[in-house]
Amino acid sequence: MESRGRSERLSVIMAEMVPVVDDLLAAQVGVALLDRLELDERGMFRPFDALTDSDPESVERAVTTVGTMTIGQLLHTALDAADRIAGPWTGGAPDSLALAYELASARRPLAEALWQRFCESLAGPMDVQEHWLSRCEPGMTVVPGFIDFSRVYGNGEFTWSGFWTVSAPAGEIHDDLVAAWEMFPGPISRWHMPINPGAHVWNIDHPADWVRLVETFPRVATEPHAGWELPGPNQHKGDVAHLAEIPAQHGVRTVVDRHVLPDWDAVASEYDGVHLSWPVSSRPRDS
């Protein structure tokens, strides 16, 4: 029975391949990842710049390489691409991301190979979580959690009162995550956190799931906060003109009429947690 259930689950996953591949080609981190994978096959040194063209033979070699990659190697490359090609702190990101979007369709076979190779791993259950800790600097105080969920980061992206875990990542991306999360100084400890099967969790597998969370527990943002999107702190609005002209891009927005985020106090009153899955797609879907 277990084997049949696993087979049926994989059949459903594979049936979703086309829309998920479309999502990958629409997501800023997705197109940046495809650029890095082709770059590795071409032996070029462009650490912060996207390729200016796509070579079919290089794409085909990258497809073969993906067939032998581990999930850790994939995530390492994705994190590197997100930082160097799509990151708001990288001055040339808007132009590099525009190139990555323009060349994405030529790399569709590579996107398909990624999904076929990693669909099962990325759609895994949420039963193994870890909590990461770094050594506090002298004088730092630890604020008690689960008390004031209205104390938020920026204008409400998340609450400082929450308890943060990650779906047990592969060892290859330990240093990447430490750097991305700015967990300094070390040493870093990782704690195994089993999940209560009866926990009431809001799962976010697609953007529509986030939209429903915001609509169910709405809170209008009261402060501007653009540090996690383009144009970033090292870019000017004029730098994103090329990227903004690409119809399929999801990497930049220059105007926000009304920004609504979750009311985390209200979320916490009904749910034990919110879980963002690995294979979250880039485009809204019908819910």
Question: pLDDT digit string (tens) for 83-115?
Answer: 899 988 888 999 999 999 999 999 999 999 998
> Above 90 in pLDDT, residue 213?
yes
> Above 70 in pLDDT, residue 15?
no
Nearest to 152 by CA among 256, 266, 253, 278: 266
User: What pLDDT, on the 0 to 100 scale, is given for residue 125?
Assistant: 62
Judged by average pLDDT, the poorest of 135-139, 160-164, 216-220 is: 135-139
Predicted model pTM = 0.83
Q: CA 179 to CA 85: how far, in whole Å? A: 16
**Residues 283, 51, 18, 56: what is their CA dihedral angle, to the nearest 10 degrees?**
170
> What mean pLDDT is predicted for residues 13-37?
82
User: What pLDDT, on the 0 to 100 scale, is given for residue 219?
Assistant: 93
Phi, psi of 167 (to 5 degrees): -65, 110
> Above 60 in pLDDT, residue 6?
no
> Above 60 in pLDDT, residue 172?
yes
Peptide bond into 185 cis (omega under 30): yes
Structure tokens at 189: 């400890």
Structure tokens at 12: 């459903």
User: What pLDDT, on the 0 to 100 scale, is given for residue 140?
Assistant: 67
Of 18-32, 99-113, 269-283, the range with the highest mean pLDDT is 99-113
Contact assessment for residue 90 and residue 84, using Cβ atoms and an 8 Å cutoff? yes
Contact assessment for residue 260 and residue 214, using Cβ atoms and an 8 Å cutoff? yes
Q: Across the chain, what does the average pLDDT equal?
A: 84
> Above 70 in pLDDT, residue 124?
no
Contact assessment for residue 193 and residue 167, using Cβ atoms and an 8 Å cutoff? no
Q: CA 126 to CA 123: how far, in whole Å? A: 9
Q: CA 55 to CA 59: how far, in whole Å? A: 6
> What mean pLDDT is predicted for residues 149-167?
85
User: What pLDDT, on the 0 to 100 scale, is given for residue 250?
Assistant: 87
Residue ranges with strand state E in 51-116:
none
Contact assessment for residue 273 and residue 202, using Cβ atoms and an 8 Å cutoff? yes
User: What pLDDT, on the 0 to 100 scale, is given for residue 286?
Assistant: 41
> What mean pLDDT is predicted for residues 18-24?
80
pLDDT band, very low/low/confident/very high, at 3 (cuts 50, 70, 90): low
Bridge partners of 192?
130
